[in-house]
Each structure stands twice: as structure tokens, then as C-alpha cells.
Amino acid sequence: MKIFFRISLSIAFSIVLTFSSADVFAQKKSRNISKDERPKNIILLIGDGMGLPQVYAAMSASRDNLNISRLPHTAFVKTISADNYITDSAAAGTALACGVKTNNGMLGMLPDKSPVRSILHIAEDQGLATGLAVSCDVTHATPAAFIANVESRKMAQEIAMQYLDSGVDVFIGGGRENFNKRADSLNLLDSLIFRNYQVVSTIPAMMEVISGKLAGILYPAHPPKYSEGRGDMLSIATSKAIELLVQNPKGFFLMVEGSQIDWGGHDNNIQYMLDETIDFDMAVGIALDFAEKNGETLVIVTADHETGGFTNLGGNFLTGEADGKFSTGDHSGTPVPVFTYGPGASHFEGFLDNTDIFKLMKKLFGFENALN
């Protein structure tokens, strides 16, 4: 009887908690948005594989000087995919970009392969400028989730093809060989030029572009590590993307990804992870500096998932030391943080699902009735 009583209490508590949580969530979803809470621009920054332990380790390594700590609103995000407790970047990217759950490996599609539209495409439909800046191949999972509809994230050359008619105004990263060294012998760089993109392959050439559409495909494949010569490419790309996109009087949407935080986690390499997280944080600083001056920009910093099962086991904020251990060479199911600043930032609160990031961006932009 005691066992049954305890189980019954547990079940009852779970039911109450479930309905209470649902009621609270419904109240959050129904909150009205004032005119002052509607951003003209949204910059979404995604630290791939960046869980709270990665943020805290980087905070220690930077001697408590992370730009992320400047964002005043914080919440947590569940990352489960449609078919797995532990998501991959494709399913998580699709959730953030399109607001739906899909199976691991799929991009811009429901599990039944029905295509869905991303916030980037919805913003384009409404006349906003759009852009991507990443420290990986631009056909990689996270940026591809905002551009493409494919059954498998491995379809890099098909993803590159879909960039042609995506409408995105600015995209910067690596992956040039998926555009000009293809199995079908097509040269998509020429196709981009035909579509009025200024196609550049170096940072100096990118800096000379002062208006119009930009395809900054700066590396043959993935960019190198920050520690192996990439330098401040991501921050420079973020700044250039903002410079070009802000010229649209209707506003813009920009996604920035610190792609290789994830790879440091997969390698169980603390220094690699820290270098990439701090580099990503520099891009966060660029976005925040712009938003503080602009006054009409919502900045969202989050992650698609945590990688490595990292645990903070030591550090020193005065000397910049950070230490810990990894529990896996893969992703974990650990919830990730979301930090926000600017108009509408206070709507990101509590425990969110990753699909809610999309839903809130769409709602704050005022695009509730736009087809997804």
C-alpha cells in the first residue's frame, strides 16, 4: 500500500505539474506584444554545441568578459528531435529555423518529407533583407536549415543548388567546392553572379562590397579552426552582413553560427572548444554593439544542442583558467540556454522548446499570419 500510495502521489503530482506548466505556457503564448516590443531587425546567433557548461568555461577563460553576459534575459531550451531524445544539428536547426520537429538528419522538412518554410524565407516574403554568416561550409546542417528542404543533411550539392533561388541577400562562410567542383559539372558561382550576387573568395574582397547581394564563399570546404588561421573571420563577416542588410528600410533577419564549438566537443578538446566559444562571443559583441546603437534590433543567442557532455570541474576567473571533463564524444540531451536583448527580449522566458524560438521570432516580427 505504501508503494502504491507513493506512486499515486507521484502520478498525481506529474498530472498537476503537466497541466500547470501547460497553463503557464499558454499564458506566455497569449501575451500581447506592444509596439515597443516589435523589433525591426532580428539577429539570431547560434553556438553549435554550446551548452551552459561551455558558456561558463568560456566565461572563466575570458576572465569574466563574455559579451553573452551583457544580454539581460535568460531562458532554457529543450532540444529533443522528432525521433530522438538527442538531436542532431539538422533536426535542431530545422526546429530553430522553421518551428517544427523533424527526424535527425532532415532539413526543412517534416518527418513525412513535407517541406516547411524558414523564418528567413518568411522574412524575405515580407520584404526584409536576410543573411547568414557561419564558420563552416554554408551547406552544413545549421545554415542549410534556413535555406533548403532536403531529406538528408549529406546532400551538400543539392543544398548548394537551393541557394541559387533562396533569395538570401548575404551569405558568408566556406564550402566553395560544393558550388564549383560538382558531380554535375555545373559552376554555381557563375549562376550566383547571373543572379546579381557579388561572389568573393577572400576577406579583403568581401570588405570592398558596400551594397547589394553578397556571396562570400571564402574557403574551399570548412574554414580552418580559429587557432589555425581563421582568425576573426566570423566577427568580420557578422559586421559586414549587418552593414549590408541594414540598408533595407524594412528591416532584416540575420543568422550567425559559431559552428566549430561543436567540433571541439566532438574531439573532447577543451582548448578547441574554448577558442571557438570565445570567437563566437566576439560575433555576439558585434551584434550587441549594433543593437545598442540601433534600438530596433532583437539579439537572440542560443545553441542547437550541447556537445560532449561537458562538466565544469575547475577554473579561475582571475587567471583565465577553465577545466572540466567530457562524458561523450557525441551530442547530449542537456537543455541549452537562450539569452536575449532588445525589443521583445522579455518574451523569451522559462523553459522553451526549440521550436518556440521560431514561433516567438515570427510573432515579434508581426508575421503570425504568414504561411510556414
Q: What is the CATH number of the domain that holds 144?
A: 3.40.720.10
Of 7-11, 94-98, 132-136, 253-257, the one with minimum mean pLDDT is 7-11
- Please list, residue by residue across 129-164, b when 16 or more beta carbons sit within 10 angstroms of its beta carbon and e when fewer do: bbbbbbbbbbbbbbbbbbbbbbeebebbbbbbbbbe
Task: Print the domain residue range for 297.
Answer: 60-365
* Residue 20 in this model has a pLDDT that exceeds 60: no
* Residue 10 in this model has a pLDDT that exceeds 80: no
Is the separation of the CB atoms in 282 and 260 below 8 Å? no
Whether residue 371 is contained in a domain is answered as no
* Residue 259 in this model has a pLDDT that exceeds 90: yes
Which has more confidence, 326 or 368? 326
Whether residue 24 is contained in a domain is answered as no
Whether residue 334 is contained in a domain is answered as yes
- 250: exposed, middle or buried (Cβ count in 10 Å: 0-12, 13-18, 19+): exposed
Whether residue 28 is contained in a domain is answered as no
Question: If you ran DSSP here, which 8-state letter would residue 19 be given?
Answer: H
Whether residue 39 is contained in a domain is answered as no
Q: How many structural domains comprise the chain?
A: 1
* Residue 4 in this model has a pLDDT that exceeds 80: no
Q: At what angle do helices 89-98 and 354-365 cross, to 10 degrees?
A: 20
**Distance between CA atoms of 207 and 219, rounded to whole angstroms?**
16
pLDDT of residue 7: 35
Asked whether the CA dihedral 255, 55, 351, 39 is positive or negative, the reply is negative
Whether residue 36 is contained in a domain is answered as no
- CA nearest neighbour of 217 among 143, 151, 286: 143
Whether residue 174 is contained in a domain is answered as yes
Amino acid type, 48:
D
* Residue 364 in this model has a pLDDT that exceeds 60: yes
Is the separation of the CB atoms in 323 and 58 below 8 Å? no
- Report residue 342 CA to chain centroid gap: 17
